[in-house]
Amino acid sequence: MNLTVTEVQAWLAKFSTAIVENKDYLSDLDTPIGDGDHGNNMARGVIAYEESVAKTTPKDISATFQALSMAMLSKVGGASGPLYGSAFMKMTKATKSVETITSYEQLGDILAEGLEGIKTRGKVELQDKTMIDVWDPVVKAMQVGELDYDMVETAKESTKDMVARKGRASYLGERSVGHIDPGATSSALLFKMLLEVVH
């Protein structure tokens, strides 16, 4: 594996495009179990990221993660903004002296820092029906070089049967069952786009 700043920026550009293309779908997922804004929230964040990197091209991986973190923290009003913002801030710190990511283990360890950021900020556990139900299995599979597209999809789909215990969906209790979590879905897009640049 040879992930330089170029591939990392290609990853996040693909993620931005995927979010914008799936904006309505993500907000539709958020309608029955939330307030119908997840796609709009995420799109605001990634558009701000794109504007930021167009203005001042980040020179390394860490600065690239920081640009996404700052965009999510400053431009996304919803719960997802501070959560993605914390994840990418931890990944900014984890890559401070990294010029190139050279192994699945190293990439998994960097993503594990991001997951810790979400857990700390969200006070969230596995099976709470949130984005970490995608992040956690993805990180573990990445660390051992076994992540594939189907695993990301399976993790996302697994949130359908869960009872929400965090965020707006938790207000519905048992009635949240039967709906895929919107944040798990945007996170699945993040990792599917990562798989497109990791070979």
Binding site for Mg ion (CB under 5 A): 30, 34-35, 37-38, 78
Residue placing its CB nearer to ligand ADP in the complex, 131 or 198: 131
- Does 139 engage in binding with ligand ADP (CB under 6 A)? no
Q: Which phi and psi angles does 113 have, rounded to 5°?
A: -65, -40
Which residues sit opposite 101 in a β-bridge? Answer: 3
- Smaller CB separation from ligand ADP, 5 or 184: 184
What does the block give as tokens for 178?
């039967």
Q: How many CA atoms, within 13 angstroms, populate the side-chain half-sphere of residue 106?
A: 13
- Residue of the chain from 16, 64, 66, 130 that contacts ligand ADP (CB under 6 A): 130
Smallest distance, Å, CB 5 to ligand ADP? 28
- Does 184 help bind ligand ADP (rule: CB under 6 A)? yes
Tell me the backbone φ, ψ of residue 101, rounded to 5 degrees.
-95, 120
Q: From Mg ion, ligand ADP, none, which one binds at residue 95 (CB under 5 to 8 Å depending on kind)?
A: none
By a kind-dependent CB cut-off of 5 to 8 A, residue 130 interacts, out of Mg ion, ligand ADP, none, with ligand ADP
DSSP per residue over 86-129, as a string? HHHHHHHHHTTT-S-B--HHHHHHHHHHHHHHHHHHHT--TTSS
CA distances to 63, 97, 198 from 46, in Å: 15, 25, 21
96 burial (CB, 10 Å; 0-12 / 13-18 / 19+) is exposed
- Build a one-symbol-per-residue string for 50-89: x at contacts with ligand ADP by CB under 6 A, - elsewhere: ----------------------------xxx--x------
If binding means CB under 6 A, how many residues of this protein chain bind ligand ADP?
A: 23
Q: Where on the chain is the footprint of ligand ADP (CB under 6 A)? A: 30, 34-35, 37-38, 41, 78-80, 83, 118, 122, 124, 130-132, 166-168, 181-184
